[in-house]
Amino acid sequence: MACGYNILFGYTLSGKAPIVIGPLELVSAGTYEGKDYYTWYDETAEVDLVIRWNNGGYWEFGFTTGILFSPIATLQYPPSDCPVDPAEPYQWLITATGWSDINSAFGDSLNEPLTEEQECYPILVWNKQCEFAQCVLKYLQLLQFGSAPCSALEQLKNKRRILEILNCYDVRDIPDNTTDYNTISYSEIKTLLNH
């Protein structure tokens, strides 16, 4: 069965400076293990990337070299037709070095076009994650020289909690500011985005 959504996907490659890729709008490239899979070529990493179903009961993200698949991250979902389930958090568990901040969200339903706010939401969250990464780097530098304020760690923890909420937000509630798919409203989410 086909996934009813396009997939918005983004990630960061480690290096001298973080490189944020995405969000990408992915469409099915065929089926693997009975479910749609998604593939694209990443010029920065110089590999063919794949999101596919593993019959162990989870989605996996990785790259291929020839016919060999190397996993990068897994998404622990119960069986689903999409690597993004709007009812579930979409946190990827990273299993390889050199990759971080792997996120996915669903794009436009095949029946409903996205509003501009819905299309921009994943980008706003990824920007917030980049800000968080810069704050962590600054904290580590201060910590290294013994000049980190006592409150800095708690501030980082709170920023991380906010990111977890933002990553789990289902954008279908945005147009009417409802709580049909989330426990908090979009107006509260906007407050967190501006925090």
Q: What is the DSSP string of 102-155?
A: EEEEEEEESSSPPPHHHHHHHHHHHHHHHHHHHHHHHHHHHHHTT---TTHHHH
Q: Domain ends where: 109, 136, 163?
A: 109
102 shares its domain with 134: no
Look at residue 19 and tell me whether its pLDDT is greater than 60: no
96 shares its domain with 17: yes
Of 111, 54, 114, whose CA–CA distance to 80 is shortest?
Answer: 54
- 6 with 106: CB under 8 angstroms? yes
81 shares its domain with 135: no
- How many Å apart are CA 9 and CA 6, to the nearest integer? 10
102 shares its domain with 149: no
Phi-psi region of 110 (alpha: psi -120 to 50; beta: other; left: phi over 0): alpha
- R_g (Cα) of the chain, nearest Å: 18
pLDDT recorded at residue 111: 40
71 shares its domain with 10: yes
Q: Which residue matches tokens 């800095």?
A: 152
Least confident residue range of 17-21, 116-120, 133-137, 171-175: 17-21
* Segment 72-110, tens digit of pLDDT: 888 766 667 777 655 454 567 788 777 766 766 655 443
- Give the residue, 102 or 133, on which the prediction is more confident: 133
Q: Provide the residue range defining the domain that includes 121.
A: 116-193
State how far the alpha carbon of 23 is from the alpha carbons of 68, 172, 193, in Å: 26, 17, 18
Q: Rounded to a whole number, what is the largest CA-CA distance in the chain? A: 56
Average pLDDT score over residue span 106-134: 75
The identity of residue 17, as a single letter, is A
178 shares its domain with 141: yes
Global pTM value: 0.51
103 shares its domain with 153: no
Q: Domain ends where: 109, 132, 147?
A: 109
- How many Å apart are CA 118 and CA 171, to the nearest integer? 6
102 shares its domain with 26: yes
Take residue 24 and report the two structure tokens written for it: 């990408």
Tally of domains within the chain: 2
